[in-house]
Amino acid sequence: MKNIYDMYDFLESLKDIDDPRQFKKVRYPMNEVVGMVLIASLGNGNEWTEIEVFCKLHETLLKRYFKLENGVPSHDTFQRVIGMIEPNVIQQLQSTWNEYISKNDGENIKKILNIDGKAMRGSKTEYKNALHIVSAWCDEDGVCFGQTTVKEKENEILAIPELLDTLQIKGYIVTIDAMGTQSKIAEKIIKKKADYVLAVKGNQQILHDDLIIYFEDDDFREKIIKEGNYKKTVEKSHGQIEVREYYQTEDIKWLTNREKWKNLKSIGIVEKTIKRKDKESREIRYYISSLAPEINLFEKAVRGHWGIEIMHWHLDVTFKEDSIKTVEETANKNMNIIRKWALSILKLLDMGKKMSLKLKRFSINCKPDEYISKIMEI
């Protein structure tokens, strides 16, 4: 695929999509369909019918970027064509976009790559479970590095290594929830020349119990504080005070089976206390890491994992993904990628004042001529 200089060139590059249909019967080229779906998704189009209406209302605008020799297709045609494209093709387009917008921050700045799964509830039918998408998300760049699909949440353990095989993650810190805390996954991350911060819960019972016993000892906590591997933050949010205390240590020689975790260098916790007027709650989360103690970086990794939860929230709330009833599996996979692609574009789009992504989509829907032209200049 050719070098990308601006969004217009990027849309032109969609012509590289292989079209399996018989050439003489093609009325709506695949590159135009993908481009229209992406633009309509930016402009508040969620359902296939909404995508059709958006494109028909703004056909004159779309003709600046696409030939549209046969006009705008119907919603059924949009869905059918999107369902014909191999998801790895759309993924490659998104990867090219990621390369286009990636910031060159230098090797000394560690970025966080979050890996987690999300069910597409709208894909569930009477006869099959909802698709479960495992994504690799970098919130700092606002891009999804890749994703893979599994039938059940439990299959994430098998899917994560396969996903890692497809990614260039050298220099990143990979964070994964407790389900993905497996020794083979840790080894895979190290082989990819990245680091890990992995949550520990009951699925690694011996390790979990060891960490609980260690961090319950006040003397060990005091030692960590004296060594400078402690940090406390206090935040006010929604009428409550949230206190977070981070502890990290390289004192791991005593740890049971520590040799099974490739390049394990530290363990840590975050103790979160929520103070309300009438009550106080406390929660401790445990972690293992290939990073040497550096408390600010540990905090960044632990807090940074919420970036993927926010991305999932946007798919559900901003793009209404869970309410969209699309049965065809390939179309669902492709639309999940396109929505995350649109999310990346919306994060970059400067509208002159601070807006939520939901309001950005609404604004594009109201004034597409103004804002689509801005997107073309990204």
Q: Are residues 208 and 281 in the same domain?
A: yes
Look at residue 176 in the predicted model and tell me its pLDDT: 95
Residue 231, domain member (yes or no): yes
CB 263 within 8 A of CB 174: no
Look at residue 103 in the predicted model and tell me its pLDDT: 53
Which of 248, 269, 294 corresponds to the end of one domain? 294
Residue 135, domain member (yes or no): no
Residue numbers in the chain where pLDDT is lower than 70: 1-16, 22-24, 101-109, 153-154, 378
CB 114 within 8 A of CB 137: yes
Which of 294, 316, 340 corresponds to the end of one domain? 294
Look at residue 53 in the predicted model and tell me its pLDDT: 97
Would you say the C-alpha torsion 76, 79, 82, 84 has a positive or negative sign? negative
Residue 89, domain member (yes or no): yes
Distance between CA atoms of residues 302 and 177, nearest Å: 10
Q: Are residues 90 and 13 in the same domain?
A: yes
| Straight-line distance from the first to the last Cα atom of the chain, in angstroms, rounded to the nearest whole number | 19
Residue 63, domain member (yes or no): yes
Length of the chain equals 378
Look at residue 3 in the predicted model and tell me its pLDDT: 40
Which of 276, 294, 312 corresponds to the end of one domain? 294
Look at the block and give the residue holding tokens 């996979």: 333
Look at residue 14 in the predicted model and tell me its pLDDT: 67
Residue 55, domain member (yes or no): yes
Give residue-wise pLDDT tens across range 10-28: 666 666 677 777 666 788 9
Residue 130, domain member (yes or no): no
- In the sheet where 195-200 sits, what is the strand order? 143-150, 131-138, 112-120, 173-176, 195-200, 280-289, 266-275, 240-249, 230-237
Amino acid type, 318: T
Beta bridge partners of 286: 200, 269
Q: Are residues 282 and 345 in the same domain?
A: no
Tell me how many domains the chain contains. Answer: 2
Residue 154, domain member (yes or no): no
Q: Are residues 290 and 338 in the same domain?
A: no
Q: Is the pTM of this model over 0.75?
A: yes
Range of the domain at 44: 7-99+329-375
Give residue-wise pLDDT tens across range 181-191: 999 999 999 99
Q: Are residues 199 and 287 in the same domain?
A: yes
Q: Are residues 17 and 94 in the same domain?
A: yes
Q: Are residues 288 and 200 in the same domain?
A: yes
Alpha-carbon distances of 233 from 122, 271, 325, rounded to whole Å: 39, 11, 42
Q: Are residues 353 and 270 in the same domain?
A: no
Mean pLDDT (the chain) is 89
Residue 72, domain member (yes or no): yes
Q: Are residues 282 and 369 in the same domain?
A: no
Closest CA to 39 of 365, 378, 370: 365
Q: Are residues 197 and 289 in the same domain?
A: yes
